[in-house]
């Protein structure tokens, strides 16, 4: 305003100010975004391990050299055993500290402390199951030497934890959850060992399922779903009907915590008579959950007393699968009946007293406080332990004691057992005798061990602690716990376990198949895996000769589907033609031209697997609650047999009540086709197995919104299925592979330095590591890497970190 006259700014001055303001805002946004990006980058890269140079550590006696090869595999060289295992703990924690901490929390029942109420039921389940109690009971079973090894490993982990916290280098998962890991202990390592026994040793849920059957369906229908049916079956069924345990309510959510029903594996060993080199070849690929990080951690350990390489569970010292300079070995799961549910009678006036041989006794009561993030007070959890074990039917009951009757669990792995002792002996073994001697300490889980040595010997042993029952049929059902008549009578003597040494055939293979015969004196299990993987392995072994390591790798990646060979003709013959829609006929035409190989870019596997998956839905969904179907042990093999019987003119009650074989197969086909149409369009010849069957390697945080993009592997179409040698089981709802051979190993006894491996999705658990998901394409395609125990092979090409004792550091 000038002399009362308003002077209006010129337009270009107004625009200049606008652009200045706009530019300032844009620069501010850029600075904020840049700052956020720098902050995010710091958060994500925090905790990346030091892999080169020198690092001072507090607990070493001498310097330790750690060479990480191009696949991230650490080769640890130490001057003494204590330093070796100390360094193994330190190095494993560098790559897998988050996994180690969450694993011990899951097994110990302490996830709620950091996750909150969502993990409370899981914590209550594992507290009741008692893995940590079993580990604590095992502490006294170890020799001083083995205990010192486990202590050294724990000290190495703790050295890394201290460094991680003091240098503010915690991995991003700890930052997201907002906590720091507590010090590692020997008990933590033992608890993870017990968790693996849990993951590979379950048959109680099948007993619970069959208990439900006896109380909710007809006797004929119950018999139809038995893996084998005992001669005195009706007597056992009557006993089960006398107990008052609501299986559906007691185990309503238990499926979230149960071992994967497809837990299994393949292994085989062949003598030099069948190989090009004249020396044995050994192959092993254990089938467990396919997650990020991998269950397996590959390591090479070298000291004056040991030179061994292979894989181990993160959090456990030693090597459980692999080879040293003289021998190689691998395992599959035996899957014996090592658990027993006992029906317990509770005193009508005292919920903590139970009947045994006409007298009442006091059960042990374990009261624990479970810290829950977000709760003002800890959750009080009670576990009642009878003479047979904990009452698992009441783990989720708010007030503890839940009724007059309950189910207690007896399990071999609840007993003290020194598996780490066995690992030390195996890692140092140099022949069959020293190897099997070491196995005397390996009680749980029971495993099929195959063996080969550089002298040309091969062998097999079904090893573990397997109970002897007064009646083998006890393992089918819960049995009365109050009479004493069904108590175990001991365990199969160690020297009478199934064993083979240098068979005349020169070939040994296992794939969770039936391993005993009518001549074997002792009961192992009623439920074996479907036979198709093992049959295919035998086909390939018996059909070839002059095998090489390349042949072994090709066998591990084989996707021939022998279940389809058996059932495609049966299913196609069974459908009712007059009820088929045009698109059903098109799907059948595609299926008829399929070569029965589960290949990602073919449509035949999709049609077949969706069809087979729909059959149990048709048979059981309306009659058996979903929570009960979740504990249906051996369902795939039993459904196979129902189809065979129906095709042979002997349909059981489940087939008949659903309209017979024709009606069941037709309805199942149409359900399968509807699913395929909804997800892949209405042209069957364009459907692809790989558009449904994809590898994801899910991270524990992968289901949390956009974190899945960060932590999960990019989905890749993958061959195979649950019943091919190249095992890749999947979630039937999504098709995502969630189970299979996270480690594959092929060992050539002609030159063990040429042994090859795959560890998927990679060695590291750190999201920004080059080795986080680098082996996913290798796993999909079957591209192996070599891991040598010869220094000349790995030292010059590796990143070198020297761990130096602090008191000796410059």
Domain residues of the chain, as ranges?
562-693
The residue ranking higher by pLDDT, 307 or 474, is 307
Instruction: Identify the weakest region by mean pLDDT among 4-13, 225-234, 716-725, 758-767.
Output: 4-13
Mean pLDDT of the chain: 91
- Does the pLDDT value for residue 45 go beyond 50? yes
Supply the pLDDT for residue 488: 96
Single pTM value for the model: 0.92
234-251 mean pLDDT: 62
716-738: pLDDT as tens digits? 999 999 999 999 999 999 999 99
Annotated catalytic residue, options 103, 108, 265, 303: 265
pLDDT of residue 251: 81
Per-residue model confidence as pLDDT tens digits over 65-117: 999 999 999 999 999 999 999 999 999 999 999 999 999 999 999 999 999 99
**Is it the case that residue 242 has pLDDT exceeding 60?**
no
Residue 705 gets the label, from left (phi > 0), alpha (psi -120 to 50) or beta, of left
- Cβ-defined contacts of 487-496 (< 8 Å, 24+): 488/340, 488/410, 491/412, 491/465, 491/466, 491/467, 492/466, 492/467, 492/468, 492/522, 494/440, 496/521, 496/522
pLDDT in tens, 612-639: 999 999 999 999 999 999 999 999 999 9
DSSP-derived secondary structure letter, 110: -
Q: Which residues pair with 336 in a beta bridge?
A: none
Cα–Cα distance list, 48 to 96, 702, 772 (Å): 11, 20, 11
Is 337 within any annotated ligand binding site? yes
pLDDT at position 589 over 80: yes
Q: Can you tell me the distance from the alpha carbon of 353 to that of 338, in angstroms, rounded to the nearest whole number?
A: 26
Q: Which run of H or of E encompasses 158?
A: helix 144-166
What is the pLDDT, as a whole number, of residue 810? 45
Residue 235's pLDDT is 45
Q: Which of 13-22, 395-404, 674-683, 758-767 has the lowest mean pLDDT?
A: 13-22
E strand or H helix at 650: none
What pLDDT, on the 0 to 100 scale, is given for residue 237?
A: 52
Kindly tell me if the per-residue pLDDT of 230 is higher than 90.
no
Please give the radius of gyration of the chain, using alpha carbons only, rounded to the nearest integer: 29
Closest CA to 301 of 163, 428, 186: 428
pLDDT of residue 33 exceeding 80: no
Residue pLDDT, tens place only, 760-794? 999 999 999 999 999 999 999 999 999 999 999 99
* pLDDT of 40 strictly over 70: no
Burial class (CB in 10 A: 0-12, 13-18, 19+), 5: exposed
User: Could you tell me which residue, 662 or 13, shows the higher pLDDT?
Assistant: 662
The string of pLDDT tens digits covering residues 794-804 is: 998 899 999 99
Q: Work out the pLDDT band at 398, boundaries 50, 70, 90.
A: low
Please, which pLDDT band fits residue 252 given cuts at 50, 70 and 90?
confident
pLDDT tier for residue 703 given thresholds of 50, 70 and 90: confident
Answer whether residue 667 shows pLDDT above 80.
Answer: yes
Active-site residue flag, 265: yes
For 531-551, the pLDDT digits (tens) are: 999 999 999 999 999 999 999
Cα torsion 251, 252, 257, 258: sign: positive
Residue 210 — very low, low, confident or very high, per pLDDT cuts 50/70/90? very high
Residue 183: its pLDDT value, please? 98
- Other C-beta atoms closer than 10 Å to the C-beta of 364 total 11
Per-residue pLDDT at 7: 44
Contact 617, 671 (CB under 8 A): yes
518 CB-near residues (< 8 Å, 6+ apart): none
CATH fold of the domain at 562-693: 1.10.1400
pLDDT recorded at residue 708? 85
pLDDT at 484 over 50: yes
Q: How much is the average pLDDT of 661-688?
A: 98
pLDDT digits (tens, 9 = 90+) for 348-361: 999 999 999 999 99
């Amino acid at each position: 305003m000038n002399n009362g006259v308003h002077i209006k700014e010129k337009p270009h001055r107004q625009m200049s100010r606008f652009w200045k303001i706009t530019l300032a805002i844009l620069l501010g946004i850029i600075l904020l975004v840049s700052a956020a990006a720098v902050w995010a980058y710091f958060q994500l890269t925090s905790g990346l391990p030091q892999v080169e140079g020198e690092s001072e550590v507090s607990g070493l006696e001498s310097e330790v050299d750690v060479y990480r090869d191009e696949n991230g595999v650490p080769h640890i060289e130490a001057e003494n055993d204590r330093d070796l295992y100390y360094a193994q703990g330190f190095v494993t924690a560098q790559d897998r500290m988050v996994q180690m901490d969450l694993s011990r929390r899951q097994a110990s029942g302490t996830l709620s402390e950091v996750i909150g109420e969502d993990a409370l039921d899981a914590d209550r389940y594992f507290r009741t199951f008692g893995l940590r109690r079993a580990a604590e009971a095992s502490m006294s079973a170890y020799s001083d030497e083995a205990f010192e090894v486990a202590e050294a490993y724990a000290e190495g982990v703790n050295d890394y934890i201290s460094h991680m916290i003091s240098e503010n280098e915690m991995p991003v998962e700890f930052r997201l959850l907002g906590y720091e890991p507590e010090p590692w202990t020997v008990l933590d390592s033992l608890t993870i060992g017990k968790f693996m026994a849990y993951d590979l040793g379950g048959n109680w849920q099948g007993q619970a399922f069959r208990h439900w059957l006896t109380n909710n369906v007809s006797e004929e229908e119950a018999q139809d779903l038995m893996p084998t049916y005992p001669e005195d079956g009706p007597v056992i069924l009557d006993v089960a009907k006398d107990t008052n345990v609501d299986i559906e309510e007691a185990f309503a959510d238990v499926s979230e915590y149960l071992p994967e029903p497809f837990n299994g594996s393949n292994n085989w060993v062949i003598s030099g008579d069948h190989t090009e080199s004249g020396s044995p070849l050994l192959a092993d690929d254990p089938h467990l959950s396919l997650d990020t990080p991998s269950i397996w951690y590959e390591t090479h350990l070298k000291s004056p007393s040991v030179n061994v390489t292979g894989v181990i569970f993160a959090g456990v010292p030693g090597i459980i699968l692999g080879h040293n300079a003289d021998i190689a070995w691998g395992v599959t799961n035996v899957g014996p009946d090592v658990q027993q549910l006992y029906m317990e009678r509770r005193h009508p006036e005292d919920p903590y007293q139970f009947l045994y041989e006409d007298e009442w006794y006091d059960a042990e009561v374990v009261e624990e406080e479970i810290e829950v993030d977000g709760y003002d007070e800890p959750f009080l959890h009670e576990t009642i332990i009878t003479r047979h074990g904990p009452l698992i039917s009441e783990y989720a009951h708010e007030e503890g004691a839940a009724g007059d009757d309950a189910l207690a669990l007896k399990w071999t792995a609840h007993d003290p057992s020194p598996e780490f002792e066995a690992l030390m002996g195996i890692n140092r073994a140099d022949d069959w005798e020293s190897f099997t001697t070491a196995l005397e300490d390996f009680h749980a889980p029971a495993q099929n061990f195959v063996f080969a040595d550089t002298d040309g010997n091969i062998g097999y042993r079904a090893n573990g602690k397997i109970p002897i029952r007064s009646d083998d049929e006890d393992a089918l059902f819960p049995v009365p716990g109050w009479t004493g008549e069904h108590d175990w009578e001991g365990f199969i003597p160690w020297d009478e376990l199934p064993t083979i040494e240098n068979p005349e055939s020169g070939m040994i293979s296992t794939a969770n198949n039936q391993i005993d015969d009518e001549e074997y004196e002792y009961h192992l299990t009623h439920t074996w895996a479907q036979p198709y993987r093992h049959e295919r392995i035998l086909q390939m072994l018996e059909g070839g000769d002059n095998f090489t390591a390349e042949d072994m790798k090709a066998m591990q990646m084989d996707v021939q589907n022998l279940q389809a060979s058996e059932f495609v003709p049966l299913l196609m013959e069974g459908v009712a033609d007059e009820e088929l829609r045009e698109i059903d006929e098109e799907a059948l035409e595609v299926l008829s031209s399929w070569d029965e190989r589960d290949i990602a870019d073919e449509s035949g596997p999709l049609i077949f697997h969706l069809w087979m998956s729909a059959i149990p839905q048709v048979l059981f969904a309306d009659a058996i609650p979903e929570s009960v179907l979740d504990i249906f042990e051996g369902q795939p093999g039993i459904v196979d047999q129902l189809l065979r019987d129906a095709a042979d003119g002997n349909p059981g009650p489940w087939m008949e009540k659903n309209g017979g074989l024709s009606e069941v197969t037709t309805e199942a086909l149409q359900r399968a086709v509807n699913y395929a149409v909804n997800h892949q369009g209405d042209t069957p010849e364009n459907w692809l197995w790989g558009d449904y069957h994809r590898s994801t390697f899910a991270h524990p945080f992968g289901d949390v919104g956009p974190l899945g993009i960060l932590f999960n592997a990019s989905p890749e179409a993958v061959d195979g299925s649950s019943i091919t040698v190249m095992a890749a089981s999947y979630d039937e709802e999504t098709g995502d592979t969630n189970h299979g051979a996270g480690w594959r190993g092929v060992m050539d006894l002609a030159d063990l330095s040429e042994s090859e491996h795959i560890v998927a999705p990679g060695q590291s658990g750190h999201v920004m590591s080059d080795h986080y998901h680098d082996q996913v394409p290798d796993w999909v395609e079957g591209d192996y890497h070599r891991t040598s125990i010869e220094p000349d092979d790995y030292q010059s090409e590796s990143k070198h970190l020297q761990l130096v004792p602090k008191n000796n550091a410059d």
